[in-house]
Amino acid sequence: MNLALFDLDNTLLSGDSDFEWAQFLISKGVLDREVHEARNQAFYDDYKAGTLDIHAFLKFQLAPLARHARTELDAWHREFMDTRIRPIIGAPARRLVQQHLDAGDLCALVTATNSFVTGPICREFAIPHLIATVPAHENGQFTGAPRGMPAFKAGKIVRMNAWLEETGLWWGAFARSTFYSDSHNDLPLLELVTHPVAVDPDDTLRAHAARKGWPILSLR
């Protein structure tokens, strides 16, 4: 059996779902533009630079979930999918995922973006498993805090190990493990799999991939 893992933002998507979700809420008037737009951009810049404080970011990103009913959030997300996400899913990304599904590989989306935002996107690709940062909830209402370790940098490995253990598997169970990512933030997991692939990589990952002889792929 082979394992195929996919990063989401700027890998399968030609954009960042975390960033776009905040921008979508700003456009709806749910978040104040003057207050939130600059902070959203600053967090995104920190992510690209590899200096993101993930806990400060999650406090910012998850707070709106706690202020609104799940039914309202779900309605907004359907609009978000139509207006912000489907337009940045390219045919090459869909084909790549489908190739692994058709081959019978065990496929999972592995993303730092929270599972409320990414769950419907995962289903859009028909990827059966999602390993993501989990927003905590009580009695059907989000609390505004994450549950457990965020799936960010080495946290992706922690989340992956927990998922594999729950399914009765381990890394050695796979003849081949592949991870597709655009970001140097994903180097811990890229270094762990047997077949790392840099997808439209940032400059740091591109240089690292070139030194290591990793494949470099474009889905744009």
The one-letter amino acid code at 64 reads: P
Six-digit token string for 86: 């489907």
- Residue 115 confidence (pLDDT): 97
Q: Which residues, at least 6 apart from 168, have a Cβ–Cβ distance to it below 8 Å?
A: none
Please give the chain's pLDDT, 220 residues, in tens.
999 999 999 999 999 999 999 999 999 999 888 878 888 889 889 988 999 898 898 888 888 899 999 999 999 999 999 999 999 999 999 999 999 999 999 999 999 999 999 999 999 999 999 999 999 988 888 988 889 899 999 999 999 999 999 999 999 999 999 999 999 999 999 999 999 999 999 999 999 999 999 999 999 9
Annotated active-site residue 9? The verdict is yes
Q: What is the largest CA-CA distance in the chain?
A: 51
Tell me the Ramachandran region of residue 104: left when phi exceeds 0, alpha when psi lies from -120 to 50, beta otherwise. left
Instruction: Tell the burial category of 92 from Cβ atoms under 10 Å away from its Cβ (0-12, 13-18, 19+).
Output: middle
Strands 141-147 and 129-138 come out as antiparallel
151 vs 143: CA distance, rounded Å: 18
Per annotation, catalytic residue among 7, 105, 182, 200:
7
Q: Which residues, at least 6 apart from 55, have a Cβ–Cβ distance to it below 8 Å?
A: 150
- Residue 15 confidence (pLDDT): 97
Instruction: Show the domains of the chain with their CATH numbers.
Output: 2-217 (3.40.50.1000)
